Amino acid sequence: LHAAQRTAAEPPTPMTLLHARGKTTAAQHVAARHLDHTFEKLVASSLPLVAASPLLDALRASPEPLALPDLARRLPLRLHRRGPLHFLRLFPRVFDLRPPLPLSLSLTAPAASLLAVASSPDAAARTLHRLLAMSTSRSVPLRAVFRVWRELALPDDFEDSVVAQHPHLFRLAPNPAEPRTHVLHLVADPAKEEFTPAVDKKRPEKYAFRLQFPPGFRLAKEYRKKVKEWQLLPYVGPYEVVDQKVGASKRVSKMARRKMEKRAVGIAHEFLSLTVEKMVEVEKFSQFRKWFGIDVNVRDVFLDHPGIFYLSAKGKRHTVFLREAYDRGKLVEPNDVSEARRKLVELMLLRRHGLGNANSNANMSSSANADAKESDDDLQELELY
């Protein structure tokens, strides 16, 4: 059916949108996606950790408890509509508030232990090496790497502990296009690089990607045909040298455009494979778009390929997941860092449950119900920030 003939109860498929992009706004494209509630629950559970990340970083870097007024001056503690103190008191298993006034704040021992789990400098160097090898110029802005250091499991001081300690791999230089910023360059010999994209390890056939469509997703006959044709389409891999002139002109053939889009899929797949939890905010990934030579809208790439990616719009941010990396809401191949973050999320989800001063079973039940309702209300509040 043509888009104009569809009813409100029958949203357009990704392939329909792909060929009718001019008539579809960005908001409509996102709203038309097929919801996967497993991934939506994953995003919802991580919202408190996302909101608290800058604060957690500040506390982890400080050897002493920090006074709450000092923190408020250093960080934009817009954590909750009821104020930062309400937010902090929601998570007593993570934040340790101590009197007297002004209150001081530190991490609890379990939270500090989980936040200390990180990749080794050598593992971080390999991740950075692969990231830079995907760039057409073998360089990326340093600020873009800072935006994704958590996702890539880099040390928070990676500029000193990784970049400076591997001069045979990396070099920092001033960015001529932007004063007071730097570009991270890869100086390793490309002839000695033998990187195999993650997709190659699990390909069903040459040039094809593993597809895992969401539950209830309808695969019409025409859509199946188009997907099969796309799967067989050759493309330039994420670590292969690409002609930087390709895509520079807006006048390209339909086939060239399709190959450019498939290359963008390959780069996004590899980027997500490098992340700890096989997920990243779309806006953060977009920071690398020009440097990776991607000449198509990355959000559309994720939405047009629901068998490879899942895009969530929960929490006023777009988060993309690599589908094949998950099974029933859990990572297929967890690692030490992802497990530590999962346990930290679990600590935050416990809120104050079990820590009240209830004197009876009835009071405990009433307290638990009140905490559950407050948790739901607070989750809705967090989606506003």
Q: What is the pLDDT of residue 282?
A: 98
Residue numbers in the chain where pLDDT is lower than 50: 1-12, 15-20, 358-370, 372, 384-385
CB atoms within 10 A of CB 371: 19
Predicted pLDDT of residue 112: 97
**Domain spanning 120-193: which CATH class is it, in words?**
mainly alpha
The sign of the dihedral angle between the CA atoms of 301, 302, 304, 305 is positive
pLDDT at position 7 is 37
pLDDT digits (tens, 9 = 90+) for 323-341: 999 999 999 999 999 999 9
Q: Which helix (H) or strand (E) holds 381?
A: helix 361-382
| Residue ranges per structural domain of the chain | 32-116+338-353, 120-193, 196-241+251-333
CB 94 within 8 Å of CB 108: yes
Q: Encode pLDDT of 213-270 as tens digits.
A: 999 999 999 999 999 999 999 999 999 987 665 555 567 889 999 999 999 999 999 9
What is the reported pLDDT for 81?
Answer: 64
How far apart (Å, rounded) are the C-alpha atoms in residues 209 and 269? 9
In the prediction, which pLDDT does 363 show? 38
- Phi (first) and psi of residue 68, to 5 degrees: -60, -40
The two tokens of residue 78 are: 């817009």
pLDDT of residue 316: 86
Q: What is the pLDDT of residue 189?
A: 86
| pLDDT per position as a tens digit, 232-248 | 999 999 999 876 655 55
Q: Measuring CA to CA, which residue among 72, 63, 59 is closest to residue 106?
A: 59
Burial 334-356 (b: 16+ CB within 10 A, else e): eeebbebbbebbebbbbbbeeee
